[in-house]
Structure 1
Amino acid sequence: MLAPPEYRIGRTIMLGINVEACRSRQKRLLKALEDQSLDAIVITQNEHVQWLAGPRYEWKFSPAAVLFADGRLALVAPNEAPETAAADDVHTYEAQWLCTLRNDQRAASSNAVLGILREGGNLKRLGVEFSSYPVHVSSQFSAELVDVEPELYRQRRKKDADELAKLRMAISGTEKMYKKAREIICPGINELEVFNQLQAAAVAQYGEALTGTGNDYASGEMGGPARDRNVEDGELYILDLGPAFRGYFADNSRAIAVNGKPTDQQQEAWTYIMKVFTHLESVVKPGKSCKELFLEVQDILKEAPIGEFPHHLGHGIGLYPHEAPHLNSCWDDTFAVGDVFTCEPGLYDERLRFGMRLENDYLVTETGVENLSPFKMELA
């Protein structure tokens, strides 16, 4: 099946590179860092290059970008300039020689960055990502360095319309995957066969290859990759699916009774899991504490007669599978408008063969949340 008409009709605008949106993100970042008095910001992480400039580059390439305080952006692209980019100048480096990928791409990309910085005038104070700013640059260009990586992650929390379009498309792939799963899962089917057919369902929905995939395809387990193993009668099959469309990751989960007949214990555990979603949808709005929600859900699931809840409640999604906000007692985040996050309560026990994890994706709005994955939750 091809992508739904509403996505196909405006595909270039909705799902392609939105230059205006990228320019808006560039301005937003500069505004947020205004008090740092930066002369320029050097970007070297692929996800941040995509977020600011538009083109998506695979992990095997080493793009970069330089955003100047006056709003100009210079993009460093592998091999050739992209057809579309929110950039004032595009520089290239040779990522391949006679089609062979170079292992010294970051050095080659950094040489282009050095040229941009040297031509940029008297740059004394640079914003950089401390975890990835290359020594190739820092050893040859003297400037005071300021870590802007935390601010980049903060800015990425609020999803713009072009990002939401890609996330909705990614999530639509999971709906098709669960539909296929419910058609084929039965005692004796091999986990690898389930994996292959579900990947194919997402590819058919997107009309192009996945840019990422995950997460859990092991039956009768809390999670894990698909194995060369036939599923067994009575098991619960947790499918935690995270395909990515053009760099943006979906992440939601369903549990399916392999024989189509959940036991009374499995069904009772399911009712406690569903109480979590009812609670979340009634209390989450901008300003709500994520940690507080996590603790409230712990209390709900402690009342279940069977099963333990041993993991986080959820997290943000976007260009990386796990982003802020963190629904986790190890962080103290607060929900904000534009967050796209997961909620994944679970209960696990051998008596449940081996348990269940149900997960929805939500968008935080001005007044509450929108469920982005409103498809079937039942065990059968």
Structure 2
Amino acid sequence: MHDWPTFDAAQLRRERWGKTAELMAALGLDHLLLTTFDAIRYTTDVRTLIIAEGFDWFAAVVGPEGTCDVLVPWVDERVDDPEPDRPWVRSLRPLPSWAPALSHRTSWVRALAGVLRERGARRVGVDLLASDLLEGIRAELPETTFRGIATELYDLRLRKDALEIRLLEAASAVNARAAEAALAAARPGALDHDVLAAAMASLQRAGVEYLSHSLCNVRRGSGTWFAVGNELREGEAFFFDIGCYGAGGYASDMARVGFVGEPPAAIRAAYRRLLEAHRIGEETARPGVRASEIQAAVNGYLERQGLPITPYSVGHGIGLRACELPTIHRADRMDRDQMLAEGMVIALEPETAVEVDGRPVVLKVEDDYVVERDGLRRLTDAGYATA
């Protein structure tokens, strides 16, 4: 088990709620209706991420003073004051269990409208709700107005507090140890699944809250990152991309290239240039720099070296999601070209490829960083494979 940092969960929730309350006041809202796991966690500190497909299994209604009613699939009757250490959680309410929300539309509308009516909600901010559900709730509550506030909630989390950064550091340290375990598991005859099994076992032993993703590319193209049972061969290169949610629900996301024996010269050369592109991204990213400038610096270098560019954003924010704002991409691929600021936590993940024996070999590295006054500080401290 990892020695996770001790922290005051109530204090963390108070700090996050303070920002949320200011946003509600600025937007003239008296309640929030939340369904996404990260917004519910940020606002209420209630964990709902129990299965990947459970994104539409939960909801929380939050009032202006911070008390909340959480609708969950694991109770069949209302439970008042369910958690003594979270006195702001007023109740748990039942929803249809283990099923998509829209497969029980009427039940969901009745449950959500009932809580909002009970609370006297009149101006409600919503993060993400299927249109069929929202239409039904509006019909039940014609005097209540609703507005989408997902972007505002994401922006609220752009810059992390000191405690949030501590928790992100811990998640990155645990993920880095998992990456080292994955690299150590690579040998001739091992499968891509074996590499990931080593990483996932390391994360579970460390006591993470949840495994966010587990990808390994052996002899597959860009975007086809899934492990499929490919066997590692002498002289091959591969990469894996792994992630977790650690204490407090804070995430880490990282990738490494691995080698089995001595790879061909073309792969070694491309890998050196990939690491240089990664370094250029690190040096470019600092407070006051636009996200698109980082994308241009990384891909501009790869292009000048005659290598394929990263065909997606070279980076993103990290927090209660493994991937959140800011998005680090081309300006024409983003709604907003956001500027880095001190206190943001980001990932940089350049990719390139090289052709060997008529087949593309995809190479990718990724690390997590906190943006500080003078630049980036790396959080994922695992080393890089040498070739």
- TM class by shorter chain equals 0.7 to 0.9
* Corresponding residue for residue 338 of structure 1: 343
* Corresponding residue for residue 139 of structure 1: 139
* Corresponding residue for residue 354 of structure 1: 361
CA contact (8 A) 1:220 1:354 kept: yes
**2:101 matched to 1:91?**
no
Q: 1:216-270 CA distances to partner (integer Å, 9 max, x unpaired)?
A: 21213345121122112222111111233364332111101122x2333222222
Residues 7-156 of structure 1 mapped to structure 2, 5 A cutoff: 7=4, 10=6, 13=7, 18-57=9-48, 58-59=50-51, 60=54, 62-69=57-64, 71-78=65-72, 79=75, 80=79, 82-83=82-83, 88-95=88-95, 101=98, 111=110, 113-121=112-120, 123-129=121-127, 131-132=129-130, 134-135=133-134, 136-142=136-142, 143-156=144-157
Query: How far did 1:110 drift?
Result: 5.4
Query: How far did 1:211 drift?
Result: 1.5
Change (3 A) 1:65 1:307: closer
CA contact (8 A) 1:91 1:112 kept: no
* Corresponding residue for residue 256 of structure 1: 258
Question: Secondary structure of 2:29's match?
Answer: coil
Query: How far did 1:151 drift?
Result: 0.5
What percentage of residue pairs aligned between the two structures are identical?
Answer: 21
CA contact (8 A) 1:63 1:109 kept: no
CA contact (8 A) 2:286 2:340 kept: yes
Aligned residue type for 2:369: Y
* Corresponding residue for residue 202 of structure 1: 203
Distance in 2 (CA, whole Å) between partners of 1:106 and 1:245 is 33
TM-score by length of 1: 0.84
* Corresponding residue for residue 378 of structure 1: 385
Distance in 2 (CA, whole Å) between partners of 1:282 and 1:90 is 47
Change (3 A) 1:20 1:148: same
CA contact (8 A) 1:254 1:359 kept: yes
Change (3 A) 1:251 1:89: closer
Distance in 2 (CA, whole Å) between partners of 1:106 and 1:84 is 32
RMSD, aligned CA: 2.8
CA contact (8 A) 1:127 1:147 kept: yes
Aligned residue type for 1:117: L
* Corresponding residue for residue 218 of structure 1: 217
Aligned residue type for 1:326: T
Query: How far did 1:277 drift?
Result: 3.4
Q: Which moved more, 1:137-146 or 1:101-110?
A: 101-110
Distance in 2 (CA, whole Å) between partners of 1:374 and 1:130 is 35
CA contact (8 A) 1:240 1:254 kept: yes
Q: 1:133-189 CA distances to partner (integer Å, 9 max, x unpaired)?
A: 733533311212221111011112223344334433332232222222232212221
Q: 1:296-351 CA distances to partner (integer Å, 9 max, x unpaired)?
A: 21211112244443332111122333211111101212212322211111220223
Distance in 2 (CA, whole Å) between partners of 1:102 and 1:311 is 33
4+ long deviations beyond 6 Å: 102-106
Query: How far did 1:361 drift?
Result: 0.7
Query: How far did 1:63 drift?
Result: 3.5
Question: Secondary structure of 1:214's match?
Answer: strand
Distance in 2 (CA, whole Å) between partners of 1:262 and 1:42 is 53
Distance in 2 (CA, whole Å) between partners of 1:103 and 1:216 is 26
Question: Secondary structure of 2:188's match?
Answer: coil
Distance in 2 (CA, whole Å) between partners of 1:265 and 1:343 is 24
Query: How far did 1:33 drift?
Result: 4.1
Aligned residue type for 2:66: R
Aligned residue type for 1:137: I
CA contact (8 A) 2:349 2:365 kept: yes
Query: How far did 1:87 drift?
Result: 5.2
Distance in 2 (CA, whole Å) between partners of 1:23 and 1:114 is 27
> Structure 2: which 5+ residue stretches go unaligned?
none
Residues 240-255 of structure 1 mapped to structure 2, 5 A cutoff: 240-245=241-246, 247-255=249-257
Q: Which moved more, 1:26-35 or 1:316-325?
A: 26-35
Q: Which moved more, 1:22-31 or 1:55-64?
A: 55-64
* Corresponding residue for residue 284 of structure 1: 285
